Structure 1
Amino acid sequence: MDYSPPVETVSFHVWQPCNMHCKFCFATFNDVRSTVLPAGHLTRSQALEAVELLVLAGFRKVTFAGGEPFLCPWLDELVRMAKQHGAQTCVVTNGSLLSAELLRKYEQALDWLVLSVDSLATPTLREIGRMTRGRPMDAEKYLALCRLVDVTDVSLRVNTVVSRANLDEDLSEFIRLVRPVRWKVMQVLPVRGQNSGKVEPYLVSDEEFEAYVARHRPLVADSTALIVETNDDLIGSYAMLDPAGRFFDNTRGCYHYSESILDVGVPRAISQVSISRAKFVSRGGHYYLPVT
């Protein structure tokens, strides 16, 4: 019998380690590392098997996230595996390891690159912990990274998490300069076991988040799609795989994990978590590029 997953895209958090320490991060997976996966990632062969299982199950777009996925030595092999099976591919990165040489490794295999840009202000980046070795990037560095992507065939998306730290800042001029295909603006999300005890000072109300979006909306160029995700949009609308190869959901205020797809396969594992297709479609999650 043919099987189709409840949504077309899946986010595989392939690498738990990260070289930044953002205080409100809701994908730390310290619980995964301390309980089932001491290394914080699958082996190369296990990860390749997981990707193959995902695309054979019918996922049409695979997003590789972390931690910081570019820390994974075999990430390019995972991306190419997904691409060879006809899926669209995407990597979400903090940008610290990005270079022209690195991007060349992904030629004809990577469709989307998502750059996380919460702020261009050094004090803000220091405050939220978005630094490598105690040093944050600056506006010129982020701009240079976007220009690296611009000269490739990879489509650029920028992700911004709105928190108390950057609530009053303005990214509109930067967004107009780099012209990403999509700019996703997300309300900082509290998740027990991931960022509890750290995220609380950074939470913003729905009204404050809406004011941030309203301030930027008329200033974004027509060439950029502004995607807005409130806390409610972020809950239960994603198919997500943890570093151990388990689906997980965030519908209970914390992460609830399935069995590993390496042990029981995709259909059984995904049936053990909650994913709302209606919310997935409502937030625009079904977009993808035509397969060529």
Structure 2
Amino acid sequence: MLQSNAHNQNQLVINWHLTEACNFSCRYCYAHWERHESVKDLIRQDYQIRQLLLELREFFNPSNSRNPLAWELSWFSTRLNIAGGEPLLFPSVVEETVRFARRVGFRASLITNGSLLTEQIARRIGSGLEVLGISIDSAQPLSNRLIGRVDSQGEFLDLERLRKAVVAIRERNPAIKIKLNTVVNQVNWEDDFSDLISLIQPDKWKILRVLPVTDRSMTVTSEQFAYFVDRHRKYRSISVVEDNQDMVESYLMLDPQGRFFQNSPCSAGYEYSQPVLEVGAEKAFKQISFNASRFCSRYSGDSGGAV
């Protein structure tokens, strides 16, 4: 007997990491995937991006009863969240992907480290985005250097330029939601983010405990993570806190080669599906684990959906 929908969600969010390339080298970066040399990253060919989005749009259409999630979730719209690496290394690809995603029925959002976000780029892509997520793990030069959030020329995130870009994107699209993403780690767990919050004025602040996918040296204890969260309790009206167990099997994610992947609950590293463009979204999705209840727990109380 088929069970009725257990959870109602306004939105289903699909995270596509379109590139592994990044201008920063964060020590705990999870955006590293096992590569199949015979399969190229989809951003090399525009038509492959379009094929992927069409395949995902059909499979994750709210009315598609063949999707196994249809019996666990009920959603009303689907959002494509573009991530990396650093997607704004390829601004024209991001712009075209956002445009095509909206054309075929997706809503769109973007996660960036903010270092390449200029006022000009903000205005070009701003009208097409529902959410802009900015990943910032410190406002201090020394902390950023220790973390690896510095480019090959030794340049750090320019916070004033970022502020101007955020102002520009809000002027272009007043309805956009700005979200700040912060990974709590061994370098920054004692930091005070008050000045940064005042500067960016995010609508949401996602606070994540560093996940030991590739490097365990930056992990924090439960007490250290709780200290960071408690220190910023005055921002709890905008905060979304995610500990490690909240992140396992709770995201819908695709890598640059168009494979579903998932955090493994038993070990560091990822589990992968076959490429969607080779076997189709339906077959590929069955090859990875996804916890619908955990997904809903992450999104509860956030009508726009957490980036």
Q: Which TM class, normalised by the smaller chain length?
A: 0.7 to 0.9
Range with greater deviation from structure 2 (172-181 or 94-103): 172-181
**Which 10-residue stretch deviates more, 67-76 or 242-251?**
67-76
2:249 paired residue among 216, 236, 240: 236
Query: What SS does structure 2 have at the residue aligned with 1:109?
Result: coil
Corresponding position of 1:214: 230
Quick one: structure 1 residues 171 and 233, their matched pair in 2 at CA, closer, same or farther if it must change by over 3 Å? same
State the alpha-carbon separation in 1 of the partners of residues 241 and 236 from structure 2: 15
User: Match for residue 69 of structure 2?
Assistant: none
Which shifted more, 40-49 or 67-76? 40-49
Kindly indicate whether residue 189 of structure 2 is the aligned counterpart of residue 167 of structure 1: yes
Taking a change above 3 Å as real, the CA distance of residues 278 and 39 of structure 1, as seen in their structure-2 partners, is closer
Identity %: 32
Q: Does 1:281 align with 2:281?
A: no
TM-score, normalisation: structure 1: 0.86
| 1:180 matched to 2:202 | yes
Distance 1:260 1:39 in 2: 11
CA contact 2:183–2:208 (8 Å) conserved in 1: yes
Matched, 1:81 2:100: yes
Show the 5 A alignment for 1:81-100: 81-100=100-119
Separation of aligned partners in 1, 2:40 and 2:48: 15
User: C-alpha separation between the residues in 1 aligned to 2:79 and 2:115?
Assistant: 24
4+ residue runs over 6 A deviation: none
Corresponding position of 1:123:
142
1:112 pairs with 2:131 = yes
Counterpart code for 2:118: S
Instruction: Please say if residues 121 and 139 of structure 1, whose CA atoms lie closer than 8 Å, have aligned partners that are also in contact.
Output: no
Confirm or deny: 8 A CA contact 1:258 1:270 kept in the other structure: yes
Counting matched residue pairs gives 275
Instruction: Report the Cα distance in structure 1 between the residues aligned to 2:196 and 2:136, rounded to whole angstroms.
Output: 10
Distance 1:238 1:284, change over 3 A: same
Give the 3 Å change call, closer, same or farther, for CA 180–28 of structure 1 in structure 2. Answer: same
Instruction: Return the alpha-carbon distance in structure 1 between the equivalents of residues 42 and 282 of structure 2.
Output: 24
Q: Alignment RMSD, CA only?
A: 2.4
Checking the alignment, whether the CA contact within 8 Å between 1:16 and 1:41 is kept in structure 2 is no
CA–CA distance in structure 2, aligned partners of residues 216 and 107 of structure 1: 29
Letter of the 2:89 counterpart: L
Tell me, which stretches of 5 or more residues in structure 2 are unaligned?
62-77
